[in-house]
Amino acid sequence: MLSFSLLEVSEKTTDIIKWVSIGAIALLIVILAATCIKGRKFSTSEIAYAGICLAASFALSFIKVSPVQLGGSITLASFVPLLIYAYKFGPVKGTLAGVILGLFNFISGPYILTPLTFILDYILAFASIGLMGFAPKFGKLSATAKVSLGTVLVYTARFIFHLISGFIYFAEGAIWVTLPDAVLANMFLYSFVYQCVYLPADCVLCVVVLIALAKTNTFDKLLNLMQKKQKPAEAVEPAQAVEAGAPASTDEK
């Protein structure tokens, strides 16, 4: 049984949440600014699809099983919509969308121990979705192999961030009343086991869904749907055609 409530974790809990929220907003502004500076602005369609994928991922995150207390849950492949988005639009935009999803998850069930655990659990862990943006560059592999490897890469990064956060969390042994001394002596191992209870299963669900989408060509159809429409080629003026070497029409009398 836990010996604390959310408000009892620290007398400065409210202030921490406030400054963390401000920091999260500032981080988003920096990311958006960097995106614009590099000439990778979001188009209207990219923003629309980002919103759709975010809404789908957020909704799926509520369909879950929680085998461990305070956090870890196996969701109904909630990362899949944003993994598809990152695969299509690249790591930068995928990372930004992932961070936004992390903030949504924090807002829906706010809980932090320290600002560092917030950054690890809600910013960096969800930002790892952007790694799927590198999957299309995995050589001549099939789409099935690319999405599978990309998903494993994302969850490996997420596992590492949650692992470090868990170590920090469980190292605060004073907040527990029933934690065995053997566990207190090795918090890193305890955090590792904790993450293994739910993250691998969540990863497997995402891989299975993505493979099913790829095998049925639904994945390609979704990518084509997100394809940015190209502007029709402008008509070539006759004068330009002549300069380009095209034969000019002559009207002989």
Say what the pLDDT of residue 103 is.
Answer: 84
Average pLDDT over residues 109-120: 75
Q: Per mean pLDDT, which range of 23-37, 54-68, 129-143, 217-231 is the poorest?
A: 23-37
114 burial (CB, 10 Å; 0-12 / 13-18 / 19+) is middle
| Residue 253 pLDDT greater than 60, yes or no | no
206-213 long-range contacts, CB within 8 A, separation 24+: 206/77, 206/79, 206/80, 206/83, 206/151, 206/155, 207/147, 207/148, 207/151, 207/152, 208/77, 209/77, 209/80, 210/80, 210/83, 210/84, 210/147, 210/148, 210/151, 211/144, 211/147, 211/148, 213/84
Residue range 221-251, pLDDT digits in tens:
999 998 865 444 444 444 444 444 444 444 4
Mean pLDDT for all residues in the chain? 77
For residue 177, the tally of other CB atoms under 10 A from its CB is 9
Looking at per-residue pLDDT, the higher value among 5 and 67 belongs to 67
Residue range 7-41, pLDDT digits in tens:
454 445 545 665 666 666 666 666 666 655 565 56
Report the DSSP beta bridge partners of residue 75. Answer: 64
User: Computed from CA positions of residues 124, 60, 40, 132, in that sequence, does the dihedral angle turn out positive or negative?
Assistant: positive
Q: How far is CA 155 from CA 61, 90, 125, 160, 202, in A?
A: 15, 17, 9, 8, 9
Q: What is the pTM of this model?
A: 0.76
Say what the pLDDT of residue 245 is.
Answer: 47
- Determine contact, residues 148/211, Cβ cutoff 8 Å: yes
